[in-house]
Amino acid sequence: MDKRLFIAIKILPGEQLLKKLNYLKTNLIGNNINWIPVEHFHQTLVFLGNASTSKLKDIVDVMKAGASESPSFDLELGNLGIFGSRYDPRVIWVGMQPVEKLTDLHFSLRKGLEKRGFRFDRQNFVPHLTLARIRKIENKPHFHEVISGWEPGIVQTMKVQEIVLYESVLGSRGASYFELDNIGLE
């Protein structure tokens, strides 16, 4: 049996991030935007897609090996960004630092998984927290005005102490995420 899996860092939003998110939601009412539920906030490290449950032990073993090479670290969430173009924005996201530690962890996991037979596309790894997926913006000048109202700088700092194996179950209301395992960083 297959499960749709990914390895991620759980993001627990702090007061300032929630306040800024509320600012966006309040000021962007009337647009067709799907806001990610805060309980689903995460930084994907590796998306595995559909994987056989027989591979779960291999995945957890790779997570343990990757975690043993990565000490816990502080993660800073900060500047707001948009995927897509100015004329056709698709995703609203918050950037993360330090990119190097996230990238090192990503490549360590990916390399270990490739040795166990997993295959990945060559997509760039861009650390970010997805806040929303955009279907349609009714008033683009207003949208950009609201987005530019997000002041640059650190919004939240959190300690990353574990990585999580999630199952993603797609439903009529979007995806639901279930924690299958978590591994502490050294």
| pLDDT surpassing 80 at residue 59 | yes
Distance CA 67, CA 117 (A): 20
Separation of alpha carbons 173 and 146, rounded Å: 27
Give the chain's mean pLDDT: 94
- What pLDDT does residue 147 have? 95
Range of the domain at 152: 2-184
For the chain, what percent of residues have pLDDT higher than 90? 89
67-85 CB burial, b ≥16 within 10 A, e <16:
beebeebebebbbbbbeee
Number of structural domains in the chain: 1
Indicate the residue type of 67.
A
Which CATH number goes with the domain that contains 101?
3.90.1140.10
Q: What is the CA radius of gyration of the chain?
A: 17
pLDDT tens digits, one per residue of 67-108: 999 999 999 999 999 999 989 999 999 999 988 999 999 999
Q: What is the pTM of this model?
A: 0.92
Q: How sure is the predictor about 123, in pLDDT bands with cuts at 50, 70 and 90? A: confident
